[in-house]
Every structure is written in C-alpha cells, then in structure tokens.
Amino acid sequence: MKTTHFTIAIALGLSAITMSCRAQQLPLNTLMKDIPVNAHVKDLNNELNPYIGTYKANYQGNEITLYITKEEDRPTKLMNKNFYNDVLSIRYIVKNSSGIILQNTQNMSLDDQSYFNILSIGTIPSSGSIAFIYDGTNCGIGWGDIHLKKINNNQISWKYLPDSLVIDEATCPTGTDKKVYLPVTKDLIFTKQ
C-alpha cells in the first residue's frame, strides 16, 4: 500500500513540475516586466519561420548574403533577468564586385560577449516586420536596429538604422577595421536563394 501512495505522490509531483514548465511558456513580444526568471518566450504562432533561409542582395557594388536561422530557447539576459527566448539569428558574408570577401560572420563563434551578433527581439505587428538588434562590427561600430519585412515567399525588405558609426582611437585600437559593411539603407530587397 505504501508503494502505491509513494508512486502516486511521485507521479503528481512530476505532473506539477511539467505543468509549471508549460505555464512559463510565453508568446513573443511579452513585455519584459511580465517575463518571470527562467521563463521560455516562445514562437508559439511560428511568426519567425517564414524568414528562415539564405538571402542575397547587391548594394553599392557589394553582394550581401544573409543566413537567417532560428534558435529555440536561446539563453537571454536582459534587465538583470535570465530567461530563454526563441530568436532569429543573422550571419552574413559581404563581398565586393571582384568577389573578395570584405566581412564574413558565417562561421564565427558568436555569443552574448562578442560583436557581430544580429538577433531578433520581437515582431512589429503594425508594420508586419521583425526587429533585430545588431551589436555592431569591430569595437561595436554600427550597433543599432535592423528591421526585416516579408514581402512575399522569396523576398524580404531590409532597413538598417545604426545608432553609432563613430568611435575614437581611445575606444578602438589603431589598425582595427572600423568599416561597417552591412548596407546602411532602407527598402533594400533581399531574394531567397
């Protein structure tokens, strides 16, 4: 008899743990104040999936290739709060008209401590787009916002709004490549490959 009660108690305990984990699943665009520690902000409506893929565009003589992937349950720390977040991550290659690679983040080991990260922070329902934060290139030059909007099944529109393109020698060592290679423009069309 004791074994049966013990088994039932374990089953109830596991059910409570499972339900509490499910209760911590929140939709994209949940306000920071409403995200409990260790919650999972999930892409419950698959809003991120249509953007996944490889896209190309040409801008001012350069060819830009974007590699957009989805990361589920990416550990995130914002406003002294740790939680997990479904995000889109963009890596890229920029080549000049001669095919010489100017910048390539495709195989970089990127994390929360490095530059070059481009991660989605949510959708913008009023414009039908997705907002990203870009950590910037070397020394953080060019950090800012990127917005992507799905035009059709094969095209997205790009808008990049850097917050800072200037950095001094005290902040960034001499000899560091300080050029921002991503297209600083809006309404640039990328085509899915």
Q: Which pLDDT does position 171 carry in this prediction?
A: 77
User: What is the count of structural domains for the chain?
Assistant: 1
- At 84, list the tokens: 């997990």
Residue 126 burial by Cβ neighbours in a 10 Å radius (0-12, 13-18, 19+): exposed
- Evaluate whether 161 touches 118 at the Cβ level (below 8 Å): no
Range 51-72 average pLDDT = 97
Over 50: is that where the pLDDT of 135 sits? yes
Comparing CA positions, the residue from 143, 146, 145, 124 lying closest to residue 135 is 143
Q: Which pLDDT does position 88 carry in this prediction?
A: 97
Comparing CA positions, the residue from 87, 74, 94, 57 lying closest to residue 187 is 57
Number of alpha carbons in the 13 Å side-chain half-sphere of residue 37: 3
Instruction: Please count the other Cβ atoms lying within 10 Å of the Cβ belonging to residue 181.
Output: 21
* 5-14, 109-118, 159-168, 179-188: range with highest mean pLDDT: 179-188
> 3-class DSSP state for residue 21?
helix
Range 126-130 average pLDDT = 92
* Length of the chain counted residue by residue: 193
Over 50: is that where the pLDDT of 8 sits? no
Over 80: is that where the pLDDT of 13 sits? no
- What confidence tier does 113 reach under pLDDT thresholds 50, 70, 90? low
Mean residue pLDDT across the chain: 87
Q: Which pLDDT does position 112 carry in this prediction?
A: 61
* Domain span including residue 65: 2-192
- What confidence tier does 60 reach under pLDDT thresholds 50, 70, 90? very high
Q: Which pLDDT does position 9 carry in this prediction?
A: 43
Give residue-wise pLDDT tens across range 163-178. Answer: 977 777 777 888 888 8
Range 40-55 average pLDDT = 96
